[in-house]
Structure formats: C-alpha cells, structure tokens
Structure 1
Amino acid sequence: MYTPDFLQPNAGTTTSIPTVGNAQTTSGSAGIDNGGGTLLKNALMLEFTVGEVASTSLQQTGGLLTQGILQPYTLTILPVTGLDLFASRVNSNEVRLTWKTVQEINNKGFFVERRKEIDTSFAVVAFESTKTPSSTSNFSNEYTLTDANNFTGRTYYRLKQQDIDGRFSYSVIRWVTGETNKSIHLKAWPVPAIDHFNVSLTGIEKDVVQVFDGSGRLVRSFMLTAANPQQVNDLMPGVYILKLVSDKNINQRVIVQ
C-alpha cells in the first residue's frame, strides 16, 4: 500500500516534528535529514526529494515505513502568528480586505495579491507596512485595505507576509464575486419624444450606447456615463432601440415623432 498526503496547516499555526530529522520509521528512529535521500526498512525502500510531498506511507507484509515532513526544517520563531484574511465586496467597484495578527516579530509588512478567474497567476496590487514601528509586537494588530475591482467573475485574494530579512509566508486564500448586470438600467425619456430625448445610465460607471433604427441599422453610438445623462438630437421620426455594447440584453425602445 502506498498512500500520499499533503500537509496544509492553518494560517498562523506551527507544525511540529516530534523527532530529529525530517523522516522516521514507525519505530521512531531517525531516517533521513531534510536534504532528501532513501529510507530503507526490511525489503521496503522509499526515495524522495525535498518538497516532493509532505507525508507518505509504504506497507508490506512484515514491514511498515512512514516518511515524515519533506520540507527543510529548522526551529525558528514564526514572524507573524494568528494571521487571518477576510474579503468582502462593498459595491460593484470595490472589495474590502481585512486581516489581523496576534503577534508580529521582525515583520516588514504584507503584499496584497490578487488573481481573477481569467488570470493564470497572482499579481501584487498593494503593499501594507506593519503597524508596529519596531516591527515587533506582542499584541493584536488589525489592517484594512480597499481594492478597486469591478470584475464580475470570481476574484481570489491572498497575503504575502514578508520579514525584514526577506523571508515570507502566505495567508489563506479568500474569494469574492462581482455584481451582475441585473442592477444596470438604461433609461430614455420623454416617450414619445418630439425632436430629442434624454438617456441615463445606472448600475455601472460608463458604457457605449448604440442607437438602431427600425430596420436594425446602427445610426448612432456614444459614450454614456452614470454621472452625466446625455441628450440625443437630429434623429428622423421613427422607432429606435438603444442598446449597451457590454450587454445587448439591456435595451430601451424610443419613439421619435
């Protein structure tokens, strides 16, 4: 039997290794140090390299071999303990990130990293320095940051905590979703219009409005912002359909007399 497993401790916790070295047999004797190598018991042999997996077991009649944590292991004090991250959408354009720490030792600060579901990797969007002037504190600190984000899909966030000496660790990953276009409204008035009509937009900062005549021909297009309604003039009498470029399902019918 061969069983792989990965160890993912919660943010701000420490995983302890009970014996010397990074691997041991079930009898408790030291096996291999954190440089990797081969572990042998009876007729069973297990080979590994540092960072390959976290924990494996190999079992055969008359023998059981258990490999311990396969990461470089040193007894050091964690620079930040109790780190936890929360993310929530404030509105269609902003996401609020909050996090707190229980203790900070030689902490330089936190890189805020973001990845949209259409991206392949995380990117740094901000850096928040530690609130402790000496970089070391034994009391709790709380942090808040607002990220400009109008993405309508899922967005992932994480913190990269960095020490003064350059070492770093990551927080848990949180995600938020964007607001849908159901809150977007395109309005035109008066109806019917005599020689002109007004157009306004709500639920989105700006978009391009297209004006189609009764035969489906595009006769006008213009940029419209939520802050500035616009007046449309010089259209021949007839029936017109206004549509948003970002979502053709959002439209408004206008009659010009």
Structure 2
Amino acid sequence: MKDLYNFVASFVLLAGLSLPAAACAPSHRQTQSSILLTGPKTISATFPAASNAGNLIIAQITWDRQTRTLASVVDSKGNDYHLIGAETNWGTKYRSALYYAYNIDADASKIKVTATLNNNTTALFEIYISEYSNVLTTSDPLDKNKTATGTGTAINTGSVTTTAGNELVWGIAVGEDQAIHGGTGYNVRSTDQDNIVEDKTASTAGSFNASFTAVSSTNWVAQVATFKPLVTLPVTLISFDARTLSNKTVELDWTTTAETSSAWFEIQHSGDGQTWTAIGRTNAAANTQTSQQYSYTDPAPYAGFTWYRLKQVDQDDNFTFSKTLTTHRDQAVTLHVYPNPTVGSCVVEGATQPATVFNTAGQRMAVRVNTDSRSKQTLDLSTLPKGAYFIKTGDNSTLVYKQ
C-alpha cells in the first residue's frame, strides 16, 4: 500500500502546473459522429485527427429505447466524462444524454469515445463528439446548460445566462424523422442524420439559447451547454509541492518565475477533493521578472487524505486555481481494501459510513456500492478507467488501484 501512496503523490506532483499567460477564445478543433441502426448496446466514434492535451470533448448520445440507460462513457485515453444534467426522454421512444471531459489527456493517436448502455437498443444508437481548445483547464469549465423537448418546426433550448465573457456556447438538436437546420449566428459543425451540432463564442456574458428549424413538424430534443474560456492571469507558477512533516502538519511550497499585477495566493484544503476551505493567504510579489518562492504550513490537515490547491488572485480580482496536490497522514480507523489492485470489484472493511470514490483530481466517481454488513461494503469499479482512486468513508480514506 505504501508504494501506491507514493505512486499517487508522484502522479499529482508531476501533473504539471502553469497559469495561462494569454487569453484566447475557445476554438473548434473537430467534430465526428457515428450512427448504428442494428439495435446495439455499444457505440463508438473516433476523431479524424489527433487531439491536443488540455482540450475539451463534448459527447451527445441518443438511442431509441427509453428503458435503457447509459452504463458508461469512456475514451481510448482514459479521460473522465461527466454527465450534464440528466438523461432525457423525448418523443415516444427516444432518450438522450450529454457528457463532457475537460483538460483531457492526449497523444499522437486519434481518440475514440465509446458509450455503452445497460442493454441493447431497439434499433437506433448515435453519438456526436466535438473537441475544443482554449477552454478552462484548472477547474471545471461547465457554466450553464439546458435541455428542451417538443414537437413542431421551431426548436429552441430555452435561454441560459453565462457568467463570463468568451464562453463557448454549444448546441445540438436531434429530430425523429425530419431534417433540421441550424440557428442564426451559429457555426454548424455537423449535419449527420439531418441533425445539427452548432456552436459560437459569446464575447460578453449574457443570455443565450440554441435555436434550430425543422423542415416539417417532428418530435425533437435540443440541448445547450456553455463552457468557460482559459483565464488570463499574470503569474507563471513552475512548481507546487506538499509534504507531511514529523509533527503531522503539512508544508506547502511553490515557486513563480514571473508576476505582473499579482495580488495574493489563497491556500485552500479539502477532505474530499470537492468541498474547499480557505486556510491561509500569502501576499504575492505584484510585479517581478525574477523567481519568487512561497511557503505555507497547514497546522490541521485532515486524517487520511488532504487535497490542496492555490487560488491566485490578481489586482483586478481575477483569479484561477492551480491543480490539486494530495497528502496522507495516519488515521485512527484503518480501512482494509481487497483485492488491491483490482480489475473489477473490491471489498472495504472498517467503514462506518457509506463509501465514496474519487479520482486523483478530486472528482467523485459514479460506482455501485453494496453494503454487506455494518462495516463491510463491496464497490464495483469495473466501469472506471485504469488508475489510482481514493476510497473515503467518514473522515477516513485509503487508496485502491484499478487495473
């Protein structure tokens, strides 16, 4: 188990950390789709070109059996996909869902996105995937979303109000049996199956909707989601490290190479990687082109795992977050996990509360949990990509590795 702790610490610390030096509006890279009419359980679409690390992928999936639900959405690089809203029934037999993955891992290969249902469709199964660059990477970029269903020729998602300038506004309309055209002011990225994928960049924050027109009356579903752009901040952060000291405190050290109009760093910690608390503040150097070193000691880290991040604020109150670090210290209650590593399910013994699973970025993962007894639970990790995951129950946590 100690080797696994070291693995996660190395993974997080070497993940890379650089606050953006310039702002760019989100940019469309590529869109692809796949349609199957044979009643399958699984569908995949592969981008025509290699993707870039740090980008955003949006995936919309539609199938024709409302009693079926998605079991997983994954890709060939093991990126984490998040459901936007909920799966939506429309018409008399169709069901749709919208997912996204941000700050993706990528290499020279072409990413394949795969969606799997809990059972076969009747006939139709389709997926649309889009990739965008210059989308916020240091925290979740999703801002607003909305889904609408109806019957007719005028198709509209309804309005959402964005919170930042230069947001990506992404929309899709899927009809039952009629061709659909895109809305005014949008870039149409796909017309496959006579459905529409469209987008635009909203230069200022405001109210937006995705609109479409069907050539004749039809049942339809329309979805819109907006994503925040890369944030411009005048700090180059080249390192951020955390280490547990002998007195059970945690020392945080970070270094910048250049700062322009920087104001301060807020230090935050979390016991689950999701709920964050400010624990300290350190003034920044304001304006400098020389290396600056900073340090802060957390006197009260959580038992088990503690997540850390920096909130860097400039003199105009703009801010962004660093990537997270994770540390571990001994806890009063010991959790036993077996088998570990695992290829599917694992058993957790010593749990006094329901167990939850997080990836190393602090994102909660959707897994099935069965309670076998008062202190014994079985977790189904079969749908998760390979890698290290934290299991948390109450104030206690431990690590499991999925092969």
TM-score range relative to shorter protein: 0.3 to 0.5
Higher relative contact order (CA 8 A, sep 6+): 2
What's the TM-score once normalised by structure 1's chain length? Answer: 0.46
More strand by proportion, 1 or 2? 2
What's the TM-score once normalised by structure 2's chain length? Answer: 0.31
Structure having the higher Rg = 1
